[in-house]
Structure 1
Amino acid sequence: MSDGQRVHMAPMKVAVIAASSRVRASLQALVEPNPALEFVGSAADAETLVDCLAGSLPDVIVTDIEPEASDALKALFEIGHAPPALVLLSDDPDGDWILDVLPADALAILPLNAMPAEIVMSIEAVAAGLCVLPPDILAKLLSGRKPSHEAASGEPFEALTLREIEVLAMLADGLGNKEIARQLDISDNTVKFHVSSIFGKLGATNRTEAVMLGMRRGFIMV
């Protein structure tokens, strides 16, 4: 997209659910200085947040909600037709319980002691429709997730998004992350998330393999 064609994007609306007022204040302080994000409210639990937001839904929810409180979080996601993305801060990010409390299509799971930059970067990633997951959780999710398509051999695989196909085509052209970011007018970090997602969906371990698998499955033509 050329400079003259760039469209102004509204800030992503971010809400916080955390039992501790200190944690809520810290997360609010991370969001507010970022011009791409808009802090819209916080609460100690999902029900209170619903009342606070008066029926509207944020684009992203950041929460340290405990597993036993997951029903409240799921209820919040059932309010709207398009569920918000989720950034989950947990002291047990590798636990099996995670698989039962992930109602969002785009989500991030981070340890409670994650660095501020990691949290902000994860908010931006899930707002872009990406996932940020520990390797163990990703493997569990992929093993239990129904694939979108099947290859000619019958081997299941997941479909790529339109943006992922764009990135994959640029990988096939031999472009590096910085050049892809420049051409698509996105950040280097967003390109990294897209590349990681492509690798995960195609089962690739490097760029060359991703391009070969993408060609074999009809996502790109070279």
Structure 2
Amino acid sequence: MTEKTSRAIRVLVVDDHPYIRIGLAASINAQGDMNVVGEAGNGQEAIQAFQDLNPDVILMDIGMPRKSGVEVVQELRAMKVRTKIVMLTMYEGDEDVYQALKAGAEGYVLKGMSHQTILDAIRTVNRGERFVPPSVAEVYARHNPALELRPREREVLALMVAGKSNKEIASKLNIAEGTVKCHVSAIFLRLGVTDRAQAAMVARQRGLARV
């Protein structure tokens, strides 16, 4: 292992997959200018680990149980903390990128990128700069806030992606079936699609829904 500098970057690694955490921790701990001070497996654990460890940088998955990565960022920023945050995700949908950066993350990298890119992201945000690779920045630039789904439309879309009918969605959300139809029409318009299959495909591509 490389000898550590006197002020190594203290990193908290947050991911719900143990093997990913192990790989990231090994890569980080092999560097002379950074080390892992803790790990967490979900969003709730991330908040507690932050409070216990006060790391310089949090490297965090965006899709986790018991609070998503975006929710953790929002909570930490509400606490006015200065810890830098790099979102680590499989997804490059424009909604994922938009929500993460809007919440206050300083960096955004994909799990398919090299470990060197992730290490560069940690160093960059620790210096007070933003780290968004060109491919991710291009996706972010395509996001149109004017076409954002409203909260209820997001709920309807998530149930559509799960294969629920209008009647089932109405029952689940305790609203009229006619209201669901209105929401579905609005969703089609905002996503630029003409049917439920296209809506589901676009929702997955853009990070608007998970399956």
Summarize deviations over 1:121-161 as a string: whole Å, max 9, x none: 111111112222143654646x99xxxxxxxxxxxxxxxxx
1:48 CA displacement: 0.8
Aligned partners of 2:41, 2:55: CA distance in 1, in Å? Answer: 16
Residue number in structure 2 paired with 1:52:
49
In structure 2, the CA distance between the partners of 1:53 and 1:94, relative to structure 1 (3 Å rule), is: closer
In structure 2, the CA distance between the partners of 1:51 and 1:20, relative to structure 1 (3 Å rule), is: same
In structure 2, the CA distance between the partners of 1:43 and 1:86, relative to structure 1 (3 Å rule), is: same
Aligned partners of 1:94, 1:133: CA distance in 2, in Å? Answer: 14
CA RMSD of aligned residues (A): 2.9
- Out of 28-37 and 97-106, give the one that drifted further: 97-106
Task: Report whether the alignment pairs 1:32 with 2:32.
Answer: no
1:110 CA displacement: 1.7
Q: SS of the residue aligned with 1:47?
A: helix
Residue number in structure 2 paired with 1:101:
100
Task: Report whether the alignment pairs 1:72 with 2:72.
Answer: yes
User: Letter of the aligned partner of 2:87 in structure 1?
Assistant: L
Higher percent of residues as helix? 2
Residue number in structure 2 paired with 1:218:
none
Number of aligned residues? 135
Aligned partners of 1:73, 1:128: CA distance in 2, in Å? Answer: 19
User: Letter of the aligned partner of 2:44 in structure 1?
Assistant: E
User: Letter of the aligned partner of 1:63 in structure 2?
Assistant: M
Aligned partners of 1:105, 1:65: CA distance in 2, in Å? Answer: 11
Q: SS of the residue aligned with 1:114?
A: coil
Aligned partners of 1:39, 1:131: CA distance in 2, in Å? Answer: 21
TM-score (norm: length of structure 1): 0.52
Q: SS of the residue aligned with 1:101?
A: helix
1:90 CA displacement: 1.9
Aligned partners of 1:90, 1:81: CA distance in 2, in Å? Answer: 22
Where in structure 1 do 4 or more consecutive aligned residues deviate above 6 Å? Answer: none
Summarize deviations over 1:42-93 as a string: whole Å, max 9, x none: 11123213323444421111122218812133213433432x2222222222
Task: Report whether the alignment pairs 1:127 with 2:126.
Answer: yes
- Segments of 5+ residues of structure 2 without an aligned counterpart are 145-211
In structure 2, the CA distance between the partners of 1:9 and 1:130, relative to structure 1 (3 Å rule), is: farther
Residue number in structure 1 paired with 2:81:
81
Aligned partners of 1:121, 1:81: CA distance in 2, in Å? Answer: 22
Whether the 8 Å contact between 1:93 and 1:134 is mirrored in structure 2 is no
Alignment of 1:202-217 (within 5 A): none
- Segments of 5+ residues of structure 1 without an aligned counterpart are 1-7, 145-222
Q: SS of the residue aligned with 2:19?
A: helix
- Out of 44-53 and 10-19, give the one that drifted further: 44-53
Aligned partners of 1:101, 1:53: CA distance in 2, in Å? Answer: 18
Identity over aligned pairs, percent = 18
Aligned partners of 1:115, 1:19: CA distance in 2, in Å? Answer: 20
